[in-house]
Amino acid sequence: MKVNVLVAEIGSTTTVINAFDLKNSEFIGQGQGPTTVLDGDVTIGLNMALDDLKKNIGVNNIEYDDFLATSSAAGGLRMTVHGLVFDMTARAAREAALGAGAIIKLVTAGKLRRSDLNKIKEIKPNIILVAGGLDYGERDTALYNAEEIAKLKLDIPVIYAGNIENHEDVKLIFEEYEQKLYIVENVYPRIDELNVEPTRRVIQSVFEEHITGAPGMQKVRQMVNGPIIPTPGAVMECAILLQREIGDLMVLDVGGATTDVHSVTQGSDEIQRIMISPEPFAKRTVEGDLGVYVNLPHIVERIGLENLKKKFWDAEELINNRKPIPKTEREIEFVEYMTQEAVLTAVRRHVGSIRYIYGPSGKKTIAEGKDLTNVKWIIGTGGALTRLPNRVDIMKKIPQDNTGGMFLYPKDSVEILVDNYYIMASLGVLSKKYEKAALKILKKSLGI
């Protein structure tokens, strides 16, 4: 059988392969296998997933034009971020890294200390991001940090996204120490402007260039002949593509280990006028303590075991015997309750708020954080929000969670959509080469 494109999602434990017919904009089928990073050869798991795909669609052989991939294997895209002021350039750099699909292992502000440099060596990130200084503003901190990182000679790619005046000096530093450097536009060029998109794109490009050096990923190129981008970054690519088609939206991805929230919206003019600091148009937050399998004990801790027992008398048994995929009616009911807690908590952490400050001229109203009031669509992807029976009801509770009225939540009129084929990550990487087909297939998965 001939298909146009195969897309592999190489996760930390499972590898999924999706097959697509681009001529008719159709999703053909899916196969799964284990991720074999620890075996030192990811292609073992890829071939197992490919065999499973053949079995599921009833063919003996599959030929393809392109084989693309997303990956969160080998620890995903690990990054450290270093800026000048925590609430400005360091935060802007962090937003760019998260939007690209990174796992942020360290954020520093100001000049790097010896302890910071030791942490960088211990973390062994895939990419280091250095920012600092508005354009034509402070220069010395970013130059100092760049030199200290270059001196480490870690053979790790470094992206510089700081003060434009430092470009020539940063190049000279990295040439002297023979280290890999990428220079991109400043993530925080002016006091009222975030510019994260150029950095986000370069992070994904650098990840793709260097992913084959990660443990267990050396052979991935034997099968994959197209782009490889971080899985969360692929979901963001898909969200941005869809926003251009249907308007402002939010995507929720509840997994076994984390809950990701992606929002693509500028917010309302009314709120923008009282914002005290800029927010990115496309924002991702990742909650590492909100997973419904690996990190389920953290959700239990948030709720309180005794409170949980009031609803589930057998809570301890359900916790101790939890499965990656719930099977029984009782297990499903329990996971739905935990998913609801993960969703509502993750959105509370993602959303901005209105508050009052008092000064010599009296009370002043300000807004800070991400404004979601213009969001028209809430979309569920990931295992929990594409497979649980009450997934739509869970997401409908998001606007109702604005109990204090001071948070910038979507309105009650928001529409709920589900990524029924569970393919948003695959379509995100597909869209980099086949945008129109990816959008058509996505709309079919969402039922629009």
Look-up of token digits 């914002």? 275
Find the mean pLDDT for residues 1-24.
89
Give the residue, 219 or 364, on which the prediction is more confident. 364
* Per-residue pLDDT, 73: 67
Percent of the residues in the chain that have a pLDDT greater than 90, as a whole number = 72
> pLDDT tens digits, residue range 103-123?
899 999 999 999 999 999 999
SS3 425: helix
Q: Is the pLDDT of residue 214 over 60?
A: no
268: left (phi over 0), alpha (psi -120 to 50) or beta: beta
> pLDDT tens digits, residue range 228-249?
888 899 999 999 999 999 999 9
SS3 118: helix
Which CATH number applies to 77-213: 3.20.20.70, 3.40.50.261, 3.40.50.2300, 3.40.50.300?
3.40.50.2300
Q: Point out which residues pair with 102 in neighbouring strands.
A: 77
Domains 2-74+215-226 and 229-446 are alike in CATH topology: yes
Radius of gyration of the chain (CA): 22
* Per-residue pLDDT, 136: 96
Q: Counting every residue, how long is the chain?
A: 448
Q: How confident is the model at residue 220 (pLDDT cuts 50, 70, 90)?
A: confident
Q: Is the pLDDT of residue 278 over 80?
A: yes
Say which residues have a Cβ less than 8 Å from residue 427's Cβ, sequence separation at least 6.
7, 234, 238, 241, 438, 441, 442, 445
Mean pLDDT, all residues of the chain: 92
Tell me the three-class secondary structure of 156-183, residue by residue.
Answer: CCEEECCCHHHHHHHHHHHHHCCCCEEE
> pLDDT tens digits, residue range 326-348?
989 999 999 999 999 999 999 99
**Topology (CATH) of 2-74+215-226:** Nucleotidyltransferase; domain 5 (3.30.420)
* Pairing verdict, β 14-21 and 26-34: antiparallel
* Per-residue pLDDT, 75: 65
The domain limits of the chain are: 2-74+215-226, 77-213, 229-446
Q: Point out which residues pair with 259 in neighbouring strands.
A: 254, 287
Domain 229-446 has CATH 3.30.70: no
> pLDDT tens digits, residue range 73-95?
666 788 999 999 998 888 899 99
> pLDDT tens digits, residue range 287-323?
988 989 888 999 999 999 999 999 999 999 999 999 8
Find the mean pLDDT for residues 198-220.
78
